[in-house]
Amino acid sequence: MVDPAAGSSSLGARDIPTATVARLPVYQRALARLQEDGTATVSSAELADLTGVTSAKVRKDLSHLGSYGVRGVGYDVGYLQYQISRGLGLTNDWRVLIVGAGNLGRALASYAGFASRGFDVVAILDSDPDVVGRRIGAAATAVAPTRDLEAVVEQYRPDIAVIATPAEVAQSVCDRIVACGIGGILNFAPTVLTAPPGVEIRKVDLGLELQILAFHEQQRRSGAPGGPGIPRDIDVAAIDLREPQRGGSAP
């Protein structure tokens, strides 16, 4: 039996390309499906087919984890899934604060997939008095007023903050979050945020992703050379076409 703790370490201790880190969750999702189906081993070619990359890229990406597989056998599905989870920090529990309880914020708070991946929404904030006091999703508490952000952070100690506010207030919210000592921010607001060095900001721009899809659809319809058509599975975590943000790293 393979010891999961042997021969692996967190990504923080390794120099791994950001593009590789972005693809690891995609591999993990495919491995989870294989495990549910009772598949014990998988080859790099099979994993490549499931994730839309080349087998050479799969092998190179996984080699950063210290996992090279066994020639003629492939990768142990359960062990590889553990390695990726451990490398991404998903074997720990992460407390998440959501600022903004509009349609998007409520959808995020209600998403069941967070809990299964180790993300616990501990608090939600909003400035709308009609929303404050309501319970949303699986959050530990009812929606609190945004003015209480500092007190909420002090009480629940979130590791990561999600900003789902209007663009005009997003930067001020970001500044307050950073001042509280939170170093990881996921930004859904339609604006570019700035933060001091050492603060990681990831921007998810749904409008940008739709524009990219529209471009590919136009290419497909016109039959233009090099028009690849619409990818079957758009994953904003794996296909990172966002603008870099100061204070946070972006590929």
Confidence of residue 106 (pLDDT cuts 50, 70, 90): very high
Query: Quick one: pLDDT at residue 183?
Result: 95
Distances in whole angstroms, Cα of residue 217 to Cα of each of 26, 121, 223 = 24, 36, 10
Count of CA atoms in the C-beta half-sphere (13 A) of 236: 16
Q: 120-150, pLDDT tens digit by residue?
A: 999 999 999 999 999 987 677 899 999 999 9
Classify residue 181 by burial, with Cβ atoms within 10 Å: 0-12, 13-18, 19+: exposed
Q: Do domains 11-88 and 93-251 have the same CATH topology?
A: no
Which CATH code is given to the segment(s) 11-88?
1.10.10.10
Structural tokens at position 156: 């629940």
Mean pLDDT of 6-32: 72
More confident residue, 132 or 72: 132
User: Would you state the pLDDT for residue 95?
Assistant: 93
Q: According to DSSP H, which parts of 126-202 are helical?
A: 149-156, 167-179
Per-residue pLDDT of 35-48, as tens digits, reads 888 999 999 999 99
Query: What does the angle CA 92 – CA 139 – CA 198 come to, to the nearest 5 degrees?
Result: 50
CATH class, range 93-251: alpha beta
Q: Report the DSSP pairing between strands 184-187 and 119-126.
A: unpaired
- The helix (run of H) or strand (run of E) holding residue 99 is strand 94-99
- Give CA angle at 60 (33, 234), nearest 5°: 50
Share the mean pLDDT of the chain. Answer: 82
- Asked if 152 contacts 129 with a C-beta cutoff of 8 angstroms, the reply is no
Q: What are phi and psi of 92, to 5 degrees?
A: -100, 165
Domains of the chain by residue range: 11-88, 93-251
What's the rounded Cα separation, in Å, for the pair 195 and 101?
Answer: 23
